[in-house]
Homo-oligomer: A and B are copies of this chain.
Amino acid sequence: MQFDSLDDISGFCRDLPTGDAHSADAAARRQQMLTKPPGSLGRLEELAIWLARWQACEIPRLDRVTIAVFAGNHGVAARGVSAYPQAVTEQMVANFAAGGAAINQIARLAGAELKVVPIELDRPTRDFTVAPAMDADEFLRAVDVGYRTVPEDADLLVVGEMGIANTTTAAMLCAALLGGGAARWAGRGTGVDDAGLARKRAAVETALDFHRAISSDPLGVATALGGRELAAIAGAVLAARRHQIPVLLDGFVATAAVVPLARLRAGMLDHCRAGHVSAESAHRALLAELGLDPLLDLDMRLGEASGAGVAILLLRAALACHAGMATFAEAGVSGADE
């Protein structure tokens, strides 16, 4: 296993690569020379420079883009917190394999390889309202699954998830690590009615009370109140940092999955961007907490990496301009008067 203990993860986070400032500077200088007013491509410029930093290359590439979708099941589903039965997690994994889901279409369009990784679907986590969701071994095993999913030579990693009831788990992590209670973090997910939403909030409040002793320890919270697919996302984001691979995070659940990492160390998410802001009500607040400015805002709330998958297209646009545009000198275009 990549990590033998929770302390191993904390240790890993103390000595992180920080990207290549020289390549970022070179990319920024290149942007200034291209035939456009300085800054006029807005975030497309920033994205090109960010990719340059993490790929350590003035003109980055997106030849190998990996979308990793992790799937898990959740004991808290028994509390009636989702509009869908738990069997849907496995049914959707089969749908991914058959190519019928949204992310299959988006991955093909975006030129990405899709890796779908179900994690012990026949062993849901324990219901965290009455017990720890996982023990440390179970958590580390799921982190390891995520870590090993990331190809060392990927140009970009996109992380997403599938798991009935996992917006409850995501709300749980946020409530435990960021405060504000269930009302701030629990929303309608795939579309629960008012009664379902009330059950969801009650589950989070019950668990907050049950686990209050551990709530200052990020990895302890991720273990006792998290989920396997969320742990795998954290593992994948750690592997990406090790290999200096830039990352696009998907929606509320995928973002909540990295909150424990963000709490371990400042700058832990510097290699990540938020692909989009979801319609799930708490996602915008969570991104603000983490200082992440989403690339897209399309009222999507599907998960399965669909929002971040669409955002790959924006990175391709950023690089197309960065790599392909003429400079003022090449094109014989006059610069600004000033």
Evaluate contact between B331 and A91: CB separation under 8 angstroms: yes
Evaluate contact between A298 and B95: CB separation under 8 angstroms: no
**Most chain B CB neighbours (cut-off 10 Å) among A39, A85, A102, A296:** A102
Q: A83: nearest residue on chain B (CB-CB)?
A: B336
Evaluate contact between B333 and A105: CB separation under 8 angstroms: no
Tally of chain A residues near chain B (CB < 8 A): 64
Contacts of A336 in B (CB 8 A): 83-84, 190-191
CB contact list, A106-152 vs B, under 8 A: 106, 108-109
Contacts of A298 in B (CB 8 A): 42-44, 295, 314
Contacts of A302 in B (CB 8 A): 36-37, 40-41
User: How many Å lie between the Cα of A306 and that of B314 in the bound state?
Assistant: 12
Q: A104: nearest residue on chain B (CB-CB)?
A: B324
User: How many Å lie between the Cα of A102 and that of B322 in the bound state?
Assistant: 9
Evaluate contact between A320 and B191: CB separation under 8 angstroms: no
Minimum CB–CB distance from A83 to chain B (whole Å) comes to 4
User: How many Å lie between the Cα of A280 and that of B110 in the bound state?
Assistant: 29
Contacts of A38 in B (CB 8 A): 191
25 contacts between A and B (CB under 8 A): A36-B101, A37-B83, A37-B190, A37-B301, A40-B190, A40-B279, A40-B300, A40-B302, A41-B300, A41-B302, A41-B306, A42-B298, A44-B298, A83-B337, A84-B335, A84-B337, A94-B332, A95-B326, A101-B331, A102-B325, A105-B320, A109-B316, A109-B320, A193-B338, A295-B298
Known: A94-B332, A95-B333. 8 other contacts (CB 8 A): A37-B83, A37-B301, A44-B298, A99-B326, A100-B326, A105-B324, A193-B338, A298-B314
